[in-house]
Amino acid sequence: MIPATTPLVGFSGKIIWPLGQRSLLVKIGDEEHSTSAWMNFMVVRSPSPYNGIIGRPRVRRIQAVQSTTHGMLKFPVAGGTVTLRSSMIIPLECTMVSGPGVPQPLINQVAEEKIQVAIHPEYPEQTVAIGSTLTEKGRRELCSLLKRNLDIFAWKPADMTGVPRHIAEHMLNIHEGCLPVRQKKRGQAPERNKAIYKEVEKLVDADIMKEVHYHSWLSNPVMVKKITVAEECAWILKT
């Protein structure tokens, strides 16, 4: 991996310093018709719903034409043109980035693409999302497979202990020599304080968190209510 010295700026204005960059030969299409091109990827340590994002320069390189309205991508190959179709989720995300005018029928279609299924009898409130395009037989087989492997999922905070650092490790995205940031402590409403203490106790009991008496950093907690995808889309429309 080649070092990268240029920072990346997200939609929220957050600056992310890449771990490096790597050129990979990317093949797009199917087994019968495809095209290949060398593409330069910036590797970042940041949560994302995508494994990789192809920028406009690389889209031009494969001579592709995309339509967010129809959720389609076309590009020439030897012997014709290949057409790729996406799900309704991708156009919705692109539309939400460009503006708030997302029609309600489109949101309903996206919400219908996922089915919430409870697979653990002891945790019925915790569900997994399964695509609604699966057949009834495929849905039963997938649920059966998940139920046979319940031990690989984390159902409570105590299940997440003992993860090796080479698998998962949290790091602060700061430069060496920067002074610690200490925010002014803000109070919380009584009902929020109760919820915060309840969640903190779960993490402390599971040895995920520990109490620090002389900390150099201070960041106030920000409480966010858990909502469904449909509720989130509706909230975006209102704002």
> What's the pLDDT score for residue 199?
86
To the nearest 10°, the Cα dihedral for 140, 146, 150, 151? Answer: 150
pLDDT confidence bin for 51, thresholds 50/70/90: low
> What's the pLDDT score for residue 92?
58
> What's the pLDDT score for residue 236?
45
Give percent above pLDDT 90 in the chain: 3
> What's the pLDDT score for residue 93?
59
> What's the pLDDT score for residue 239?
42
Q: What three-state secondary structure class fits 167?
A: coil
pLDDT for residue 225 is more than 50: yes
C-alpha to C-alpha distances, 44 to 15, 55, 93, nearest whole angstrom: 11, 15, 21
Reported as a single tens digit per residue, the pLDDT across 97-150 is: 555 554 555 445 544 467 888 899 998 888 888 877 778 888 889 989 999 999
> What's the pLDDT score for residue 237?
46
Highest mean pLDDT among 14-28, 152-166, 183-197, 214-228: 183-197
Reported as a single tens digit per residue, the pLDDT across 89-112 is: 555 555 555 555 545 554 455 444
**Nearest-angstrom CA–CA distance, 181 and 179:** 6
Reported as a single tens digit per residue, the pLDDT across 57-95 is: 777 778 888 777 777 778 888 777 878 776 655 555 555
Where are the strands (E) in the chain, listed by range? 8-9, 15-16, 20-29, 34-43, 65-67, 72-77, 80-85, 114-117, 128-131
Highest mean pLDDT among 7-21, 113-127, 216-230: 113-127
pLDDT averaged over every residue in the chain: 75
